[in-house]
Amino acid sequence: MEYLITVVVLVYGIIGGWFLYQINQQKNINRSK
Amino acid sequence: MSFFKHRNNLIHAGIALTLSVINIYIIFTLDPPNLAQGVFGNIFFIHVPIAWSAFLLYFGVMVCGIFYLTNKSIKWDYRGLAFAEVGTIFMFLVLTTGPIWAKPAWGHFWPWEPRLTTSLILFLIFLGYFMLREFGGNPEQVSRYAAVLGILAFLDVPLIFFSVKFWLPEMQSHPQVGQYFSSANPMSTYLIIFSFISMIIISSLMVRFRTNILSMNHTS
């Protein structure tokens, strides 16, 4: 079970983290305009 | 303007989130198709669809590269870069979820067998692609070289897919193409297709979002 949990956390964690990073980048670009 | 303020993008994100939640629920509650492997065998329902999505994203890099070389429109360059970035994230996930499954299944994290080696080569080619993007010099020339590299890099994808056929069976750890799917257990086939669709929807949202940010960067 721990292998499965590791994989799910890794996959959806990285994808979720990527979205948060991009939203932050978008905010920075909007602010600098 | 925020990407998620557009109605269509918000709907796209809503669908991606819903399918992801259903996918996670299925992965945790499904009886493992291979009882010998136990519940960790369900990693298969996430690892394989991610691998297929990564290949599809790299196909997108190739298509955008061809369009960029034919009409020189900057939007195809941005799309190609967005496909490459998201494809490489997915490829990284393939190369990390695979060994987590392989350790309990095969006893080793990383046996140097054909499919793993060719997948690692593809990942490394795309690391080179990003180095070229970053340090290549003249932007127009970099875009042209990157388009050519993206097209050439895709040649590795059929090699990965058919690597189980090209090399001797004694060298293989992966099952043969199509061996996962049996008519005796059609549920596994349906679930893997469902998981693949959910990954396509997430990755297409990521590509659209990233393309949007790259064009915002250009116009700002």
Chain A residue with minimum CA distance to B37: A1
pLDDT in tens, A7-19: 999 999 999 999 9
Whether residue A7 and residue B28 make contact (CB cut-off 8 A), yes or no, is: no
pLDDT in the model for residue A19: 95
Residue in A closest to B25 by C-alpha: A8
B87-134 pLDDT, tens digit per residue, is 999 999 999 999 998 888 888 888 888 888 899 999 999 999 999 999
Q: Is B21 an interface residue toward A (CB < 8 Å)? A: no
**A21, B50, B137 from B47: Cα distances, Å:** 24, 5, 37
Chain A residues in contact with chain B using a Cβ-Cβ cutoff of 8 Å? 1, 3-4, 6-8, 10-12, 14-15, 18-19, 22-23, 25-26, 29-30, 32-33
Reduce the DSSP state of residue B105 to 3 states and report it. Answer: helix
Spell out which residues of chain B touch residue A12, defining contact as CB-CB under 8 Å: 20, 24
- Give the pLDDT mean for B31-45: 71
Q: How many domains does chain A have?
A: 1
Question: In 3-state terms, what secondary structure has residue B162?
Answer: coil
pLDDT score at B62: 96
| 3 state SS of B167 | coil
Task: Give the model's confidence band at B199: pLDDT under 50 very low, under 70 low, under 90 confident, else very high.
Answer: very high
Please tell me if residue B2 touches chain A, with a CB cutoff of 8 Å: yes
- Other beta carbons less than 10 A from residue A19's beta carbon: 16
Residue B194 has pLDDT above 80, yes or no: yes
CB B115 within 8 A of CB B106: no
Contacts of A30 in chain B (CB under 8 A): 1-2, 216
- Residue B58 pLDDT exceeds 80: yes
Lowest-pLDDT range of B89-93, B178-182, B193-197, B214-218: B178-182
Instruction: Give the per-residue pLDDT at B108.
Output: 85
Is ipTM over 0.85? yes
Whether chain A has a CB inside 8 Å of the CB on B210: the answer is yes
For residue B137, what pLDDT is reported? 84
Mean pLDDT (chain B, rounded): 87
Q: Where in the sequence is the domain holding A15, given as residue range(s)?
A: 1-33
Residue B133's identity, in one-letter code, is: R
Contact status of B96 with chain A (Cβ, < 8 Å): yes
Q: Does B196 touch chain A (CB under 8 A)?
A: no
* Reported pTM: 0.90
At B47, the pLDDT band (50, 70, 90 cuts) reads very high
Higher pLDDT among residues B185 and B151, named by residue: B151
Of the two residues B178 and B69, the one the predictor is more confident about is B69
**Residue B76 structure tokens:** 């195809």
Give the CA dihedral B123, B192, A9, B113, nearest 10 degrees. Answer: -40
Rounded CA-CA distance B63/B81 in Å is 12
- When pLDDT is cut at 50, 70 and 90, the band that residue B39 belongs to is low
